[in-house]
Amino acid sequence: MRKFLLATAATLATTAAFADAHSPIKLGVVLGFTGPLESLAPAMAAGAEMAMSEVSDSGMLLDGVMVEPVRADSTCIDAAAATSATERLITGDGVVGIVGADCSGVTGAMLSNVAVPNGIVMISPSATSPGLSTAEDNGLFFRTAPSDARQGVIMTEILMDKGIESVALTYTNNDYGKGLADAFQTAFEEAGGEVTISAAHEDGKADYSAEVGALAAAGGDRLVVAGYVDQGGSGIVRASIDSGAFDTFHFPDGMISQALVDNFGSEIDGSTGQNPGTDSPGAKLYQDMASAADYDGTSPFSAEAYDAAALILLAMQAAGSTDPAAYKDSVMDVANAPGEQILPGELAKGLQILKDGGDIDYVGASAVELIGPGESAGNYREVTFENGELVVVGYR
Amino acid sequence: MEPLNALVSLANFVLIPATAYGAQLALGALGVTLIYGILRFSNFAHGDTMAFGTMAVILTTWGFQAIGISAGPLPTALLALPIGIAVTGLLLLGTDRVVYKFYRTKKAVPVTFVIASLGVMFVMNGLVRFIIGPDDQLFSDGARFLITAGDFKRMTGLDEGMAIKTTQVITVVVAVIVVAILFWFLNRTRTGKSMRAYSDNEDLALLSGINPERVVMYTWLIVAALATIAGTLYGLDKSFKPFTYFQLLLPIFASAIVGGLGSPVGAIAGGFLIAFAEVTITYPLKKVLGYLMPEALEPDGLIQLLSTDYKFAVSFVILIIVLLFRPTGLFAGKSV
């Protein structure tokens, strides 16, 4: 028995030694392939995996190291399932970095229960809760999505520019809704506005007359709906229009989608909103690359997922190591100025510059600029609704 | 004018929506209560039966629209109701034959039926999603409003608007008709009387020559009609989404239990009680009082008894109070 153990250990040691040079490294892609965000997960995973194959094909990463994606299901809502899936990726598959997760709640759980104890870098493409900015992360956690604290400020600017200083606010009763509502209320009141009421609504419920009654009684020039378009958010909007409580709204990112226009058409004319988006050349480039690869690059957070994977790989090149403890410090360096700007599809160029000892400023598909505790500064698209169409007004 | 404004505001945000919601709950609770009274178990599959019935109506409606049949200003779905009811009736009779009959002949205890109905619920749940998908479906057509908030303001010159939706009026009218027919059927017809006899005392009913299988069959057919109508009215008024119908189960059961399980009058009273409680207790009186009080006394705060977060707690508190003091419900149904 003892000999057998020794032999196994010896074999393992030699394989590991060989592995260092040429065996592929693995990156985890932990997204909610089932659950409330299951419609977004495929395009996000495709984005992350496209960046990985681009790097593998270039053969430039640390003298030809290949990158393999390993998918796992975060479920978006079940923290225990997400934690054990991540645990398996790290101990079983031996991933050296993780793109994920998607929803704020599970991301926080994965970070504190698995990533930090194991010292693995996590870059989330879509967790936006302000709470994650202050999470204990040992410098291992980044996100290519902006914090909702930022969105609260942008919303305030849009509304103030329109001269709207009194609003009623309703939010979906979860981490996202509550976080965004609080961030917005703080920013709006600081700017001198008034939030007449901040009322939660539960998703998927039978009847929203009580909520709309309360919102209407409190009054306000506009109703801010921090909810989900295919959940309670639309129910609130429908009941508000029908009862004449509000006829214009302001929609944050969870509400902006084609479904909103399909549901309400010209009934919400004059409403405003914003969601993450950029008019940088990278966005267009990425969408073309996505179409060529046969998936929808305009799908929310798909570009951010591409950038998350690209950042991990570029940071490895800059640090000259696939060890998370080494490359975690390079993430901010490759993401921000100074250096040569790198767009999607130019990862090979970026790797080459880093190899030659140069500096890069990764712009990527979503105009990445990491600030503060390693989160995207945030670029938002301001939209209005006119004649039953969603119109992009500008970018902030 | 001020008291009128207060009244209109209250009507628009409390009375009208709560009445429509109450009628929808009452119809749902009637179905639950009939099954409890006659077949003697709590049917957890009722919410998904409503979803199935509504789905059948929606598919028929789309068929009608495709060949150009419409009901003018009324929703086409009303024309599609009979077909939806027939399809749902067949499904329920089939379920009874395959599942419940087995336990009935074995004289299983009620809790076995409840668990079996839970299984049926999951199957129907999947069936509906499989056929029409999990997404929202809008199927109301015809005129949306009898009077919109804006028109009302223009007509009356008041500051407050009052909107009355066609679907709200249809809901209440159809509910009244259905309840009238149901009570006539239960009290006046031979089949109805035999159903009540079977419900009151199964052994005596069997001794006096009532055919139990016939009673069971009629019960399922009536339940199919009630569930399909309740589901369709709800879907017309709001929108159709399978998950929401599953969630409806909770307020429906609360209504049926508060009113007294097994008592049709109780189901109707319970439905309205739950609906009004949910909407009124969380309604901020700021605006209404603002109109009624003299300027100096106008309230600054919202004057809200409970935040809307606690809306669902309200139904359960009522449920607990009723069960504590009248375990058989308001209208003396069977003890739970």
Which tokens sit at A146? 């902006």
Across the A:B interface, residue pairs with CB atoms under 8 Å apart total 104
Distance between CA atoms of A225 and A177, rounded to whole angstroms?
A: 9
pLDDT digits 0-9 by tens, B105-159:
898 998 999 999 999 999 998 999 899 887 778 788 877 788 888 788 888 888 7
Best of A243, A255, A269 to substitute, by most chain B Cβ atoms within 10 angstroms, is A243
Structure tokens at B101: 């009959």
Closest among A233, A232, A220 to A193, alpha carbons compared: A220
Residues 6+ positions from A391 with CB-CB distance below 8 Å: A383, A384, A385
> What angle, rounded to 10 degrees, do the helices at B46-66 and B110-132 form?
30
Q: Do B135 and A210 touch (CB under 8 A)?
A: no
Tell me, yes or no, whether B332 lies in a domain: no
Q: Check which CATH number belongs to the domain holding B153 and give it.
A: 1.10.3470
Residue A255 pairs in a beta bridge with none
Which of A201, A207, A214 faces B284 most closely, judged by CB atoms?
A214
A197 and B284 within 8 Å at the Cβ level: the answer is: yes
Residue A12 class from Cβ within 10 Å (0-12 exposed, 13-18 middle, 19+ buried)? exposed
- Separation of alpha carbons A48 and A307, rounded Å: 7
According to the model, what pLDDT value does residue A354 have? 92
Compute CA distances B193 → B186, B209, B307, whole Å. Answer: 6, 13, 46
Whether A23-147+280-376 and A149-276+381-395 share one fold: the answer is yes
Inter-chain residue contact A211 with B243, CB threshold 8 Å: no
- Output the six-digit token pair for A389: 């169409």
Q: Which domain holds residue B230?
A: 2-325
pLDDT at B305 over 80: no
> Would you state the pLDDT for residue A46?
95
Residues of chain A above pLDDT 70, percent: 94
**pLDDT per residue over A156-208, tens digit each?**
999 999 899 899 999 988 778 888 999 999 999 999 989 998 888 887 776 78
- Give the span between the Cα atoms of B164 and B172, in whole angstroms: 12
A356 shares contact with chain B (CB less than 8 Å): no
From chain A, pick out residues whose CB is under 8 angstroms from the CB of B14: 209, 213
Q: How many domains would you assign to chain B? A: 1
Q: Per residue in B256-303, pLDDT tens?
A: 999 888 888 899 999 999 999 888 888 887 777 777 777 666 666 667
Model confidence at B4, pLDDT cuts 50, 70, 90, reads confident
Residues belonging to chain B with any Cβ–Cβ distance to chain A shorter than 8 Å: 9, 12-14, 17-18, 21, 135-136, 138, 145, 148-150, 152, 161-163, 165, 234, 238-239, 241, 243-244, 247-248, 251, 275, 278-279, 282-288, 302, 304, 307-309, 311-312
Q: Residue A17's pLDDT is what? A: 44
Residue B331 falls inside a structural domain: no
Q: For the domain made up of A149-276+381-395, give the CATH fold.
A: Rossmann fold (3.40.50)
How far, CA to CA in Å, does B206 sit from each of B168, B197, B209, B211, B214?
A: 43, 9, 5, 7, 12
Do A230 and B135 lie within an 8 Å CB cutoff?
Answer: yes
Q: Reply yes or no on whether the pLDDT at A74 is more than 80.
A: yes
In a domain, B229, yes or no: yes
- Domains of chain A, by residue range, sit at 23-147+280-376, 149-276+381-395
Contact B287 A214 (CB under 8 A): no
pLDDT tens for residues A321-367? 999 999 999 999 999 888 889 999 999 999 999 999 889 999 999 88
Fold of A23-147+280-376: Rossmann fold (3.40.50)
Give me the pLDDT at residue A7, please: 57
Do A121 and A312 form a contact (C-beta atoms < 8 A)? yes
Quick: pLDDT tens for B62-80. Answer: 999 898 888 778 888 899 9
Convert A110-135 to b/e letters by CB count within 10 Å (16 or more is b). bbebbbbeeebbbbbbbbbbbbbbee
Q: How far apart are CA A385 and CA B144, in angstroms?
A: 22
A209 close to B (CB below 8 A): yes
